């Protein structure tokens, strides 16, 4: 299994900033020690051409040259720095590489970061600068004519940027399960939105997910799946407001990987959000997600024609 990372670009965040930047490196170390068969590669940056298929020239230039207004930086939640611009580009690049690997026969591949689904065409928001999944979806469609892409976004927050970018695009199906009362407070219309209540538990969540995957199946034929495996629906998350257990989240991951595997649809995963009161909780959820991902990557490798 191939996995791509960009955690060497650590943002210089102010003391006490609530974004858990350290989780990326912790996850990479865990993967390296548990699964030597996972080929960890440093991501290449997404090119201007790739970014401009999704983002406006003004916005791409503002990020590249440090021209974001103070208000735009506040909405993103990170102060601009050269490392911030480079990391955003590499994180989008990691998802491009993961998608390409998944489609090239790997079946399952991943970005160790990404899932920056609050980024719109013309602005960033909520710790998201560029929309990695949108950039990768368009990159794969540029390489393979007629490719149909499903985005399964199970981060606890709605994938508003992704929904907005693909609003009028019948070749990309956007599915988002999210907290109805949680950020972003103005939602966009995905192809399929499943709003869930505060305090949502394992059973409620998994029941809703089963129905959503059935509906996705009825409405769309996908050639490629992007999976945003947010850790923030976990009960130990500071921002999630849901009550999913470790087992519930692992069952969630299994359903998504199994859904794609049963249909032999290649899957590229991004990790998306995770803000555990204890960072170890977030990393544990992601570790469990990786155990599922690695198991399904083995199935792809072992399959007989």
The residues annotated as belonging to the active site are: 118
Closest contact distance (angstroms) between CB of 275 and Zn ion is: 8
- Chain positions 261 to 290 lying near Zn ion, rule: CB under 5 A, are 273
Instruction: Compute the half-sphere exposure of residue 121: CA atoms within 13 Å on the CB side of its CA.
Output: 11
Q: Which is nearer to Zn ion, 106 or 235 (CB)?
A: 235
Question: Can you read off the two tokens belonging to residue 282?
Answer: 């977030």
**Which of these segments, 37-45, 131-139, 225-233, 260-268, binds Zn ion (CB under 5 A)?**
225-233
Binds Zn ion by CB under 5 A, chosen from 153, 232, 237, 253: 232
Q: Which is nearer to Zn ion, 119 or 294 (CB)?
A: 119
Binds Zn ion by CB under 5 A, chosen from 157, 241, 243, 255: 157
Q: What residues pair up with 115 in beta bridges, in sequence order?
A: none
Closest contact distance (angstroms) between CB of 117 and Zn ion is: 8
DSSP 125: B
**CB–CB of 207/213 below 8 Å?**
no
Q: Which is nearer to Zn ion, 107 or 115 (CB)?
A: 115
Closest contact distance (angstroms) between CB of 83 and Zn ion is: 22
DSSP 36: T
Q: What residues pair up with 5 in beta bridges, in sequence order?
A: 42
Question: Can you read off the two tokens belonging to residue 82?
Answer: 């050269």
Does 153 sit near Zn ion (CB under 5 A)? no
**Which of these segments, 15-23, 156-164, 172-180, 201-209, binds Zn ion (CB under 5 A)?**
156-164
Of 44, 86, 42, 47, the C-alpha closest to 63 is 86
Question: How many residues sit in the footprint of Zn ion (CB under 5 A)?
Answer: 5
Q: Which is nearer to Zn ion, 232 or 235 (CB)?
A: 232
Closest contact distance (angstroms) between CB of 47 and Zn ion is: 27
Q: Which is nearer to Zn ion, 50 or 155 (CB)?
A: 155
Does 155 sit near Zn ion (CB under 5 A)? yes
| Chain residue at closest Cβ approach to Zn ion | 273
Q: Site map for Zn ion, 171-210, x if CB under 5 A?
A: ----------------------------------------
The CA distance from 215 to 175, in Å, is: 10
Alpha carbon 253 to its chain centroid, in Å, reads 13
Residue bearing tokens 């945003």: 228
Sheet holding 108-111, edge to edge: 39-42, 2-5, 108-111, 267-270, 224-228, 149-153, 172-179, 192-196
**CB–CB of 5/24 below 8 Å?**
yes
Q: Which parts of this chain interact with Zn ion (CB under 5 A)?
A: 155, 157, 230, 232, 273
């Amino acid at each position: 299994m191939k996995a791509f990372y960009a955690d060497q670009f650590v943002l210089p965040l102010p003391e006490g900033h609530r974004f858990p930047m350290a989780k990326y490196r912790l996850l990479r170390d865990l993967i390296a020690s548990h699964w030597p068969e996972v080929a960890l590669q440093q991501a290449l940056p997404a090119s201007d051409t790739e970014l401009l298929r999704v983002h406006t020239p003004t916005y791409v230039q503002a990020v590249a040259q440090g021209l974001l207004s103070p208000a735009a930086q506040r909405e993103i939640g990170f102060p601009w720095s050269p490392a911030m611009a480079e990391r955003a580009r590499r994180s989008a690049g990691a998802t491009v590489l993961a998608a390409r690997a998944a489609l090239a026969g790997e079946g399952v591949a991943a970005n160790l970061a990404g899932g920056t689904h609050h980024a719109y065409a013309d602005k960033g928001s909520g710790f998201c600068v560029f929309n990695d999944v949108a950039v990768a979806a368009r990159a794969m469609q540029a390489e393979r004519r007629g490719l149909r892409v499903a985005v399964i976004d199970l981060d606890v927050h709605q994938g508003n940027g992704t929904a907005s970018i693909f609003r009028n695009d019948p070749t990309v199906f956007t599915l988002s399960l999210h907290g109805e009362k949680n950020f972003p407070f103005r939602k966009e219309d995905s192809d399929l939105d499943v709003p869930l209540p505060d305090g949502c538990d394992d059973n409620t969540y998994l029941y809703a997910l089963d129905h959503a995957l059935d509906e996705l199946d009825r409405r769309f034929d996908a050639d490629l799946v992007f999976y945003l495996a947010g850790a923030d629906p976990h009960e130990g998350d500071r921002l999630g407001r849901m009550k999913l257990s470790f087992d519930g989240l692992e069952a969630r991951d299994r359903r998504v990987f199994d859904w794609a595997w049963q249909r032999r649809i290649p899957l590229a995963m991004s990790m998306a959000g995770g803000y555990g009161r204890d960072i170890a909780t977030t990393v544990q959820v992601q570790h469990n997600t990786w155990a599922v991902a690695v198991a399904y990557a083995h199935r792809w490798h072992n399959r007989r024609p």
